[in-house]
A and B are shown apart, each in its own frame.
Chain A
Amino acid sequence: MISNLIQRKIFTLLKVQYSNMLEYRVEIALWAISGVIPFFMLNIWTNNNLNESINISDVMLSRYFLCVFFVRQFSVVWVVFSFEEDSLMGKVSPYLIQPLNPFFRYLAQHLAEQITRFPFAIIIAFFFFIFNPGSIWIPNLGILLLSIISTFLSFLIQFLIQSIVACLCFWTEKASSIERLLFIPTLFLSGLLAPVASFPEYVKSWIYLTPFPYLIDFPANILSGNTTNISGGLSMQILWIILLFPVFRKIWFAGTKKYTAMGS
């Protein structure tokens, strides 16, 4: 009974958000295009033969960057920006009355957007293979499944971190600047611009203790077939989720207590 109700809620939310997202196809296509930086990076790497020194062949590196593109496409999170707008506009108040944590709404929004984004990402990948026919490969089912799981876990980690930052809106009003600050280490340390394997030793020694390499580098390595410690990576991802979830709950409850609607 209860699980049925939850299922119905989740299904309805997803359906509503999906039809909402389909309204903005052009916008989502543009989002997909704005994620092509990894391909430019690939161009720098291979055009200057920089990959020889890190023992990754041209083909493996192009697969890596294609997978980076995919992982990034399906783990982009913008909950801070939505929540900031909603809380400044006072839209959070009606959400709070509903018997459902508003973050489920945002979660459904993100998932629906990922489904809408999927065809565009496939089209971009198709063009990538036209220009790079040597790098075509078909990952086997197990690998595909593992990489989907790890991409989803990476999405959850980022969603939790951003939700924690979003809850700061209850105190500061402009939480998105904190998110922009957090985005910088994500950009440079997650493997989006250069594979973590190429990082100098003094960074590699501590980077695997932070969540960053598990956001993009790890799922992309699984999918592209580059060497990586699969069980270790997955358990680190789960560990980070277990660590972040109570923080989010705490800050959420503290924040809703602090929350006062506009005009009170």
Chain B
Amino acid sequence: MKPRKYLKVYKKFLHTSLASEFEYKTNILIDLITAILSLIGSIFLLSIFFQNTSTIGGWEFEQALIIQGIYTILNGITNTWFNPNLTEIVKHIREGTLDFVLLKPIDSQFYISLKKINPSGFLEIMLGFCLLLYCIKINQINLNLGFLALSLITIMCSICILYSLWFFISTTTIWFVKTWNATEVLRSFLYIGRFPLNSFSFSLRIFFSVFIPIAFITTIPSEVFLGLSQLWKILLEGAVTIVFLTTSRKFWLFALKFYSSASS
């Protein structure tokens, strides 16, 4: 591993993909409106839930907004990096262009995961941060360095888990060729991350902590924000992150053994 080489290559990736994305300027504008409307829609939905109750699964409306903020940031990150790149794997495998990636003197996972970037997701990330700042104000959270460090760590962990999930699903393309829809399934399950985990029934809660760790992705970072989270949960999230990252890496290397180019 040569970090400097990878940094240089990444700069080139950024340059080329930004240049091609800015070809479609109105598209970026439409995506911005979509992101704003989507946030308004989910807050509207949340307000319907809170019409006649003050808490859902022990979360007040103001606290549940934090989850929305974190979800929006993560969704923005998904739209900026994961979605454009990892759906490309399907294309690489179907058209046999994965050969060219594997032949390059660079790590294939690095290339496949970071080649493209979709700038319209940035706006969503910013929207999420604005909502979080607003939440900090209305929930009267006092900022200090420890709190900031802790919330940053948990959000980073969430991003890593999310990335591993996406990467894991996309890797299965090597066997099934058309897993475009598998990412769609993941997307629809991740939708649940907009709501506090405690608002679901016990069996679904287990499902969403073990199989698809949505609990770790949005709920724990939000608890950290509110200062409710216990230390063991944060440590557990760290452990889960490491497990997910290493298994998804191993799974990719394992899957590559079964890759037999197109038409062979």
Interface of A is mostly: helix
**Which residues of chain A come closer than 8 Å to B33, judged between CB atoms?**
181
> Of the candidates A24, A48, A177, which one forms a contact with B34 in the assembled complex, judged by CB atoms under 8 Å apart?
A177
Q: Is the CB of B51 within 8 A of A53?
A: yes
Complex CA–CA separation, A194 to B43 (angstroms)? 13
A-B contacts, 13 of them at CB < 8 A, read: A30-B182, A35-B188, A43-B201, A43-B204, A44-B56, A47-B199, A47-B201, A48-B49, A53-B53, A177-B30, A180-B30, A194-B48, A200-B47
Task: Spell out B's residues near A (CB within 8 Å).
Answer: 24, 26-27, 30-31, 33-34, 37-38, 41-42, 44-45, 47-49, 51-53, 56-57, 176, 178-182, 184-185, 187-188, 191-192, 195, 199-201, 204
**Which residues of chain A come closer than 8 Å to B192, judged between CB atoms?**
40
Task: Count contacts on A: residues with CB < 8 A to the other chain.
Answer: 36
**Which residues of chain B come closer than 8 Å to A37, judged between CB atoms?**
188, 191
> A53-77 CB contact bits vs B (8 Å, 1 = yes)?
1000000000000000000000000
Q: Is the CB of B44 within 8 A of A188?
A: yes
The smallest beta-carbon distance between B264 and chain A, in angstroms, is 21
Supply 4 further A-B pairs (C-beta < 8 A) apart from A40-B191, A47-B199.
A30-B185, A34-B181, A50-B53, A188-B44
Name which residue of chain A comes closest to B57, CB basis: A48
Q: Is A95 an interface residue (CB 8 A)?
A: no
> Of the candidates B24, B53, B184, B195, which one forms a contact with A30 in the assembled complex, judged by CB atoms under 8 Å apart?
B184
**Which residues of chain A come closer than 8 Å to B56, judged between CB atoms?**
44, 48, 50
**Which residues of chain A come closer than 8 Å to B38, judged between CB atoms?**
184
> Of the candidates B30, B41, B181, which one forms a contact with A185 in the assembled complex, judged by CB atoms under 8 Å apart?
B41
Q: Is the CB of B45 within 8 A of A181?
A: no
The smallest beta-carbon distance between A216 and chain B, in angstroms, is 14
**Which residues of chain A come closer than 8 Å to B201, judged between CB atoms?**
43, 47
Complex CA–CA separation, A52 to B51 (angstroms)? 11
- Chain A, 113-128, CB within 8 A of any chain B CB: none
> Of the candidates B51, B188, B199, which one forms a contact with A200 in the assembled complex, judged by CB atoms under 8 Å apart?
B51
With A172-B26, A185-B41, A200-B48 already in contact, the answer to whether A30 and B200 are too (CB < 8 A) is: no
> Of the candidates B30, B51, B53, which one forms a contact with A181 in the assembled complex, judged by CB atoms under 8 Å apart?
B30
Complex CA–CA separation, A172 to B24 (angstroms)? 9
Name which residue of chain A comes closest to B41, CB basis: A188
Complex CA–CA separation, A36 to B191 (angstroms)? 11
Complex CA–CA separation, A100 to B188 (angstroms)? 36
Q: Is A199 an interface residue (CB 8 A)?
A: yes
Complex CA–CA separation, A52 to B52 (angstroms)? 9
With A27-B180, A31-B181, A43-B204 already in contact, the answer to whether A194 and B37 are too (CB < 8 A) is: no
Q: Is A174 an interface residue (CB 8 A)?
A: yes
Q: Is A244 an interface residue (CB 8 A)?
A: no
Top 9 closest pairs, chain A to chain B, by CB: A53-B52, A188-B41, A30-B181, A34-B188, A184-B37, A34-B185, A181-B34, A34-B184, A177-B30
Q: Is A148 an interface residue (CB 8 A)?
A: no
Q: Is the CB of B178 within 8 A of A177?
A: no
**Which residues of chain B come closer than 8 Å to A92, judged between CB atoms?**
none
Name which residue of chain A comes closest to B200, CB basis: A43
Q: Is the CB of A198 within 8 A of B24?
A: no
**Which residues of chain A come closer than 8 Å to B176, judged between CB atoms?**
26
Q: Is the CB of A24 within 8 A of B204?
A: no
**Which residues of chain B come closer than 8 Å to A173, judged between CB atoms?**
24
The smallest beta-carbon distance between A40 and chain B, in angstroms, is 5
> Of the candidates A27, A36, A53, A199, which one forms a contact with B188 in the assembled complex, judged by CB atoms under 8 Å apart?
A36
> Of the candidates B37, B42, B199, which one forms a contact with A48 in the assembled complex, judged by CB atoms under 8 Å apart?
B199
**Which residues of chain B come closer than 8 Å to A30, judged between CB atoms?**
179, 181-182, 184-185
Q: Is the CB of B30 within 8 A of A178?
A: yes
- Chain A, 188-214, CB within 8 A of any chain B CB: 188, 193-194, 198-200, 203
Q: Is A261 an interface residue (CB 8 A)?
A: no
Residue picked from B181, B191, B204, most chain A C-beta under 10 Å:
B181
Complex CA–CA separation, A44 to B195 (angstroms)? 9
Q: Is the CB of B178 within 8 A of A24?
A: yes
Complex CA–CA separation, A199 to B41 (angstroms)? 12
**Which residues of chain B come closer than 8 Å to A49, judged between CB atoms?**
53
With A40-B204, A44-B199, A50-B52 already in contact, the answer to whether A33 and B185 are too (CB < 8 A) is: yes
**Which residues of chain B come closer than 8 Å to A33, judged between CB atoms?**
185
Complex CA–CA separation, A8 to B107 (angstroms)? 55
Q: Is the CB of A31 within 8 A of B184?
A: yes
The smallest beta-carbon distance between A192 and chain B, in angstroms, is 10
> A14-36 CB contact bits vs B (8 Å, 1 = yes)?
00000000001011001101111
Q: Is A243 an interface residue (CB 8 A)?
A: no
With A30-B185, A31-B181 already in contact, the answer to whether A47 and B200 are too (CB < 8 A) is: yes
Complex CA–CA separation, A33 to B195 (angstroms)? 20
